[in-house]
């Protein structure tokens, strides 16, 4: 479907154990409708429910791919139930799952063995490796550092060119920044309100460095911890942008047209150019 859109829905924008256990923001990760090719990303707590409650609803049985950046609970609790949905309860051998190797073969794996036989394809991320999903759709991995588990960022590519990039939970490191060069859109997990050197999470000072180095057309912040929510994600995003860059705090249920950089809020039905909402 050459005219189909590439649209991203934030099922939830909460991050960290405290934000999620109290549901200060919804959790559940991302739904990426990649030109009529549905992809679930980091399906944490409530992903299935958020899909079904979304307006319009997002049908998990239509999923083609599930991507997991790392195996922590807030990114994988609904992984198995979504595999069941994607495979029609296990009766239809279809769909692709891409996970870190330790999520399947390491200590405390998070993907049930019986489900691995139900899907069409199971892949594990390789350092800086690219995986073709279908047609011209490719995902390229970016190796990251996050509290002792395998963790990978993702650059979504069409015809070999970057479409958008996801920077999940990670320690800040100059080495991985350039992998996101040429991404028009960056989605960044910013869990901390202040930099904390002993935690492998990003804070506003890190996001500022990213934005100033890469100069994407738009940066969307998500995966907010309790401190970020207390301080105000919108205020933090505005401070990072400094009137020069388009930086915005995502909201639960927010939908983004990646091609045109238009946004639709679940509570308004009004589409606006993102530049007018963030500058």
pLDDT tens digits for 2-28? 458 999 999 999 998 899 999 999 999
Does residue 50 lie within any of the structural domains? yes
Please tell me the predicted confidence (pLDDT) of residue 17: 87
C-alpha distance from residue 90 to each of 11, 97, 120, 169, 265 (Å) = 24, 14, 11, 31, 35
Q: Is residue 1 part of a domain?
A: no
269 band by pLDDT with thresholds 50, 70 and 90: low
Q: Is 153 left (phi over 0), alpha (psi -120 to 50) or beta?
A: beta
Please determine, for residue 221, whether its predicted confidence score (pLDDT) is greater than 60.
Answer: yes
Quick check: is 22 in a domain? yes
Answer for the pair 99, 125: CB distance below 8 angstroms, yes or no. yes
Distances (CA, A) of 223 to 59, 115, 188, 246: 23, 28, 8, 18
Give, as one character, the DSSP assignment of residue 224.
Answer: B
Q: Is 41 part of a structural domain of the chain? A: yes
**In Å, what is the CA distance from 170 to each residue of 49, 56, 159, 207, 275?**
27, 32, 28, 12, 28
Per the domain annotation, does 205 fall within a domain? yes
Residue 142 has a pLDDT of: 96
Domain count across the chain? 1
Containing structural domain, residue 187? 6-278
Does residue 263 lie within any of the structural domains?
yes
Domain CATH for 111: 3.60.15.10
- 97-111 pLDDT, tens digit per residue, is 999 999 999 899 999
Q: Is residue 232 included in any domain, yes or no?
A: yes
- Residue 156 inside a domain? The answer is yes
pTM above 0.85, yes or no: yes
Tell me the per-residue pLDDT of 207-218, one tens digit each, with 9 for 90 and over: 999 999 999 999
């Amino acid at each position: 479907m050459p005219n189909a859109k590439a649209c991203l829905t934030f099922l939830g924008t909460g991050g960290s154990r405290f934000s999620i256990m109290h549901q200060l923001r919804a959790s559940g990760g991302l739904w990426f409708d990649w030109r009529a090719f549905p992809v679930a990303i980091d399906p944490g707590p409530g992903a299935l429910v958020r899909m079904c409650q979304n307006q319009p609803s997002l049908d998990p049985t239509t999923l083609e791919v599930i991507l997991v950046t790392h195996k922590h609970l807030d990114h994988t609790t609904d992984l198995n139930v979504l595999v069941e949905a994607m495979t029609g309860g296990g009766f239809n051998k279809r769909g692709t799952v891409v996970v870190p190797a330790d999520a399947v073969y390491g200590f405390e794996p998070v993907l049930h063995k019986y489900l691995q036989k139900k899907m069409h394809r199971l892949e594990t991320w390789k350092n800086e490796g690219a995986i073709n999903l279908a047609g011209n759709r490719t995902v390229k991995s970016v190796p990251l550092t996050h509290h002792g588990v395998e963790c990978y960022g993702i650059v979504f590519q069409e015809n070999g060119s970057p479409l958008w990039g996801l920077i999940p939970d990670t320690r800040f490191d100059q080495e991985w920044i350039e992998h996101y060069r040429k991404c028009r859109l960056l989605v960044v997990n910013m869990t901390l309100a202040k930099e904390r050197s002993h935690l492998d999470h990003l804070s506003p000072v890190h996001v500022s460095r990213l934005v100033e180095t890469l100069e994407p057309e738009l940066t969307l912040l998500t995966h907010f911890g309790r401190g970020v929510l207390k301080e105000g994600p919108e205020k933090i995003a505005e401070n990072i942008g400094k009137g020069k860059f388009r930086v915005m705090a995502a909201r639960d249920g927010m939908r983004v047209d990646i091609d045109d950089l238009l946004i639709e809020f679940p509570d308004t039905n009004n589409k606006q150019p993102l530049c007018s909402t963030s500058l």
